Structure 1
Amino acid sequence: MQSSGGAGHLTLSTSDGVLVNSVKNACRDRLNTGVNAEDPHSIVSLVGDSRRYEGNDPDHLKASSPRAGNADGSCVEDDSEGESHKDGRTEEVDRDTKVRAYAWCKEFLSGSWKRISEDDFQIGIISGGLSNLLYLCSLPDHVLSVGEEPREVLLRVYGAILQGVDSLVLESVMFAILAERALGPQLYGIFPEGRLEQYIPSNRLLTEQLRVPDLSGEIAVKMSRFHGMVMPFNKEPKWLFGTIERYMKQILTLKFTKEAHLKKFNKLMRYNLPAEMESLRALLESTASPVVFCHNDVQEGNILMLADRDPSSKEKLMLIDFEYSSYNYRGFDIGNHFCEWIYDYTYNQWPFFKATLENYPSREQQLHFLRHYLSEFSGIKGDVERDDRVKIEEEMIIETNRFALASHFLWGLWSIIQAKLSTIEFGYMDYAHSRFDAYFKQKKLFA
C-alpha cells in the first residue's frame, strides 16, 4: 500500500469551524444519552451505518429488508442474532416514533411544518439500512406550502450501538459539505438522535443492475469524481486497518452462548484470523494503490436511480450514504464495489441474503469499469499511449482484486460482531462465513 496522494479534481472550501462545532455538540449529546457502556470506542459502530438498502422510493414505504436498528438508544448485550427465522416485517410506525418525528420536523423545518397538527403529520417507513431507521415525513395534500419548505423529508434515526463522537462529527460534517456542493442530499437538521435530509424521488439499484454496462460505467465515473475531491479531513489512510484491528480486538473477547452460533464462530476462528490479518496486511503493503478520498461502501443500496432528473442529462445516478467515507486506498473502494456484485440483500427468506460467487465481475466487466473510471481521472485521458494505458489497466486489475480481499475480510469481521450485538433479523454469522469463503477463494487467485 503506497500512501501516494490521489489527484484532486475539486477543492472544497467552507467555514468548517462553525459547522464542526455545531455538529460536535449534537454528536456529544448523542454520545452522552442512552448509552450504557464504559468505553463507547470499544463497541463496534452501528451509528450511521446504512450499509444496506436506503431507497428513497415511495413504493417501498415498509421495512422490506431486515436492515433496521433499534431506535431507543439501548445497547444490546445478549446473544441475539435473531435466528428465530421470522418472515414478517413491521409496516406501522409506533406512537413514540411518530411523536418524536413530529417534534423534530416542527423544530427544524419552516413554513407549514410549524403549523400542522400531529394528526395531520404523515410518516411512513422506508426500507432502511442495517442499523439506521429511515422514515418519510410528509405534509398532507390539504396543507398548502407557505414558502419554499420541502413537502417531504427523509428522517434518519440512528441505531443503538454507538461509536465515538469524532466519527459522528466526521460523517455529519462530510454530509453537510457534500450537500453544500450539490454532491449529495440537502441537510435540513441534525440532532442527537439523527438528522433530517432531503427526500429524493428515486429507486435504489438492485444487485443485478450493477452489471448493466451503462450503469456500471456511470458508477465508475461517479467514483472517480468522488476520489478526486479534496476534503478537510485527515489524509492518512488509517481507516482500513484501523477498523480491521478494532474489529479483531473485539472479536477475540466475544463469548457466544447459543450452540448454533458457537459452532459457526469456532469454525471461523479455526482460520486463525489474527495471523490471516497480518498476511493480508503484508500483501497489501506490497501493492501500489494511491490514497484518495473514498466512499468505502459503493454498493447497490447506496446508489440511487434518480426519478426527476433532466431528460437531457446523461446522469442517472447519485451516490449516497457517506458514513464510511475517508481517505483510503483507491483499490479498496473499487474492489469493495466488485465484491458487492455477489450479494443480494433483498432475499426474503432466512438468512435474508443470497451470495452468488459467480457474479463477481469478469475480467472484461472489470476493464469496462476501470476504463470509465480512468476516463475521468486526471492525467489518464484519451491521449495516453495505448501501451501505457494497457499497463495501467493491468496494474489496476491486480490492485483492485487484492484490495477486494480486504473488503471480504473487513465485512466478515463486522458481521461476526453483529451476530453477537444486533437484534436485526439477518443471518450475520452466515454472512460472515460467506465473506470468508469468498476471501479464501479470491486469495488463491491474486495473493
Structure 2
Amino acid sequence: MSISGNNCTKLVVKNVMRGSTPPDYKQKCFDLCRDYLGGVWLKLTVDDVIVKRLGGGLTNQLYYCALNDGHISSDNKVSQEVTVRLYQEKHFKDTNDGYERLSDVIIALIMSEKKLGPKIYGLFESGQIMAYYKHKCFRKDDHKNAQIVTQVAKTLAQIHAMDVAVRKTGNSFMDNLDNFLDESKSLFDIKSLINESNCQTLSDHELTEELSWLKKSVAAVDSPVTFTHIDFRGNNIMITENDGIVVCDFEYSCYDCRGYDFGSVFSEWGKEFGHYDHIYYPEDNEIKPFVESYIEESTKIFGKEFTRDERNSLKHLMKEVKIFSLVGLMFYVLFTLKMNQSFIPGIPFDKKIVMQRTEYYYKNYYNLKEKILKEKLITI
C-alpha cells in the first residue's frame, strides 16, 4: 500500500521487488478493476488506464491503477485510482489455518470499516483492491511532531481495542525469531561468518543464548494479549493528506502481546529509514508523550477499568516499550542475517554488507539492553 517509504535506502536492496512482474500485469490489473469497481471502468479499455508497479513489496506485489487524464469521470461513486495488491509468500507462515490468507481477509474488512486501515474495494483469492492514498510514512521528523505522535498513539490504542473474529490462541511472534535463527544456521556457518567479518558484538554475545534471555525477559514483562498489528513500523503508518493516520499491511496481525507493536515503532524511533549504523534509542521524555496519549485513548475506549490494571500504568508501559524494543531490534538482527539468502531470490549474498548491517543492529540492541539493565527493569 505504501509507496513513499520505498525509496532506496541502506536497509534494502535498491528496487528489489518480490517475484517477477507478469508480462500481462497491466491487463490483469485492469480486468480486476473492471470486475470489482464497475462503473466507469466498464466503459474503458486497457489502453485508457495507467498501471505501474510500485517499488518494494517483499511480501506482496503492489500496482497503482488509475484512469488516464482523458478519461477521468465526474462520477465520484467509483474510485478512479486504486492499489492492487497481489499476494506473495509470507515470511511468517500460519500453519494452523487451512487457508493462510483467511485471517487477512477478515482483518482487512474490519480495519477498512473502522477506517483504521485502507479502504477495501475488492477481495479475491490472490489479493485485494484498496484505496490509493497520497501520504508520507511516519519517519524521524514526525517523531518530533507532538500532534502526529498523539494521532499515531491513539490509532494504536484503537487497534489494540479491536475485537476481531480470528483465532485468539496459539500465536507467538518469538517463535518466528527462533525460526529465523534456525534457518540462518541451516544456510551457512554463522560463527565462521562472524569471525571472517570481524563482527565484535556478534562474537561477544552468542545469538542463541541472547534469544533465550530475551524470551524470558518478554515473559517477565507480562504484556497483555490484544489484537496486535505485529509490524507497526514507519513503513506501515501512513500520514495521509485527507484521511489522517491510516495503518496498512495487517497481514501478520493476530492476538499476541501488545508490546510487540510498541517495540516495532520505537526500535526505529529517531532514526532515518535504513540508517542501521546510527546507534540510538529515545530518552524517556521522547517515549512518554506517546505512552500518555495511548493511555488517554485506551481509557476513553474502556473507561476507568483500563487504569485499574497495573499493567496499564505509565510506569509499566514505559518498561514494556523498552523491553519490546529489544524484540524489534532482534528482529532486524535476524531478518538481516538471512534476508538475502532466502527472501530475495536472484540477489547474491554479499556477506560483507549483510554482516555489517547485522552487527550494527546488534550494537543497537546491546546499547538498549545495557540501559535496561542499568535501570534494573529486568532482574532475571
TM superposition score normalised by structure 1: 0.69
- Count matched residues: 356
CA shift for structure 1 position 227? 0.9
What SS is found at the alignment partner of 2:360?
Answer: helix
Q: Does 1:221 align with 2:190?
A: no
Deviations 1:387-406 (A, max 9, x none): x9999222222222111111
Partner of 1:208: 141
CA shift for structure 1 position 97? 2.6
Instruction: Provide the rounded CA distance (Å) in 2 between the counterparts of 1:436 and 1:289.
Output: 24
What SS is found at the alignment partner of 1:276?
Answer: helix
Give the AA of the match of 2:294: Y
1:75-94 aligned at under 5 Å gives the runs none
Which of 276, 281, 287 is the aligned partner of 1:366? 287
Gaps of 5+ in 1: 1-49, 73-92, 310-315, 346-351
Instruction: Provide the rounded CA distance (Å) in 1 between the counterparts of 2:301 and 2:311.
Output: 11
Instruction: Provide the rounded CA distance (Å) in 1 between the counterparts of 2:58 and 2:15.
Output: 4
CA shift for structure 1 position 114? 2.4
Partner of 2:31: 103
Partner of 1:446: 372
Partner of 1:319: 247
Tell me: CA distance 1:390–1:419, structure 2 relative to 1, closer, same or farther (3 Å).
closer
Q: Is the 8 Å Cα contact of residues 229 and 254 (structure 2) preserved in structure 1?
A: yes
Tell me: CA distance 1:122–1:228, structure 2 relative to 1, closer, same or farther (3 Å).
same
Partner of 1:79: none
Q: Does 1:436 align with 2:369?
A: no
What SS is found at the alignment partner of 2:69?
Answer: coil
Instruction: Provide the rounded CA distance (Å) in 1 between the counterparts of 2:59 and 2:164.
Output: 26
Give the AA of the match of 1:224: A
Which of 301, 324, 347 is the aligned partner of 1:403? 324
Calculate the aligned-residue CA RMSD, in Å. 3.6
What SS is found at the alignment partner of 2:222?
Answer: coil
Partner of 2:219: 285
Q: Is the 8 Å Cα contact of residues 194 and 203 (structure 2) preserved in structure 1?
A: no
Q: Does 1:357 align with 2:279?
A: yes
Partner of 2:376: none
CA shift for structure 1 position 367? 1.1
Tell me: CA distance 1:101–1:240, structure 2 relative to 1, closer, same or farther (3 Å).
same
Tell me: CA distance 1:181–1:397, structure 2 relative to 1, closer, same or farther (3 Å).
closer
Instruction: Provide the rounded CA distance (Å) in 1 between the counterparts of 2:356 and 2:270.
Output: 15
Q: Does 1:299 align with 2:233?
A: yes
Deviations 1:190-246 (A, max 9, x none): 345432211123232333312322211221111111111111222236232221222
Tell me: CA distance 1:254–1:290, structure 2 relative to 1, closer, same or farther (3 Å).
same
Task: Determine what percentage of the aligned residue pairs are the same residue.
Answer: 22
What SS is found at the alignment partner of 1:340?
Answer: coil
Partner of 2:377: none
Q: Is the 8 Å Cα contact of residues 342 and 357 (structure 1) preserved in structure 2?
A: no
Which of 313, 321, 339 is the aligned partner of 1:418? 339
Q: Is the 8 Å Cα contact of residues 237 and 246 (structure 2) preserved in structure 1?
A: yes
Instruction: Provide the rounded CA distance (Å) in 1 between the counterparts of 2:138 and 2:241.
Output: 12
Partner of 1:152: 81
Greater relative contact order, per chain length (Cα 8 Å cut-off, separation 6+): 1
Q: Is the 8 Å Cα contact of residues 138 and 238 (structure 2) preserved in structure 1?
A: yes
Give the AA of the match of 2:278: T
1:12-27 aligned at under 5 Å gives the runs none
Give the AA of the match of 1:278: S
Instruction: Provide the rounded CA distance (Å) in 2 between the counterparts of 1:325 and 1:413.
Output: 20
Tell me: CA distance 1:262–1:418, structure 2 relative to 1, closer, same or farther (3 Å).
farther
Q: Is the 8 Å Cα contact of residues 85 and 129 (structure 2) preserved in structure 1?
A: yes
Instruction: Provide the rounded CA distance (Å) in 1 between the counterparts of 2:180 and 2:87.
Output: 20
Tell me: CA distance 1:383–1:116, structure 2 relative to 1, closer, same or farther (3 Å).
closer
Gaps of 5+ in 2: 374-380
What SS is found at the alignment partner of 2:239?
Answer: strand
Q: Is the 8 Å Cα contact of residues 154 and 293 (structure 2) preserved in structure 1?
A: yes
What SS is found at the alignment partner of 1:361?
Answer: coil
What SS is found at the alignment partner of 1:369?
Answer: helix
Instruction: Provide the rounded CA distance (Å) in 2 between the counterparts of 1:237 and 1:270.
Output: 34
What SS is found at the alignment partner of 1:253?
Answer: helix
Range with greater deviation from structure 2 (127-136 or 433-442): 127-136
What SS is found at the alignment partner of 2:251?
Answer: coil
Deviations 1:250-292 (A, max 9, x none): 12211379x9899449874774322221111112222221111
Instruction: Provide the rounded CA distance (Å) in 2 between the counterparts of 1:103 and 1:343.
Output: 41
What SS is found at the alignment partner of 1:119?
Answer: helix
Range with greater deviation from structure 2 (279-288 or 421-430): 421-430
Instruction: Provide the rounded CA distance (Å) in 2 between the counterparts of 1:118 and 1:371.
Output: 50
Partner of 2:174: 241
Instruction: Provide the rounded CA distance (Å) in 1 between the counterparts of 2:304 and 2:113.
Output: 34
Deviations 1:329-357 (A, max 9, x none): 12221122111215433xxxxxx644423
Q: Is the 8 Å Cα contact of residues 143 and 270 (structure 2) preserved in structure 1?
A: no
User: Which structure has greater helix proportion?
Assistant: 2
Tell me: CA distance 1:167–1:417, structure 2 relative to 1, closer, same or farther (3 Å).
farther
Tell me: CA distance 1:256–1:118, structure 2 relative to 1, closer, same or farther (3 Å).
farther
Q: Does 1:173 align with 2:114?
A: no
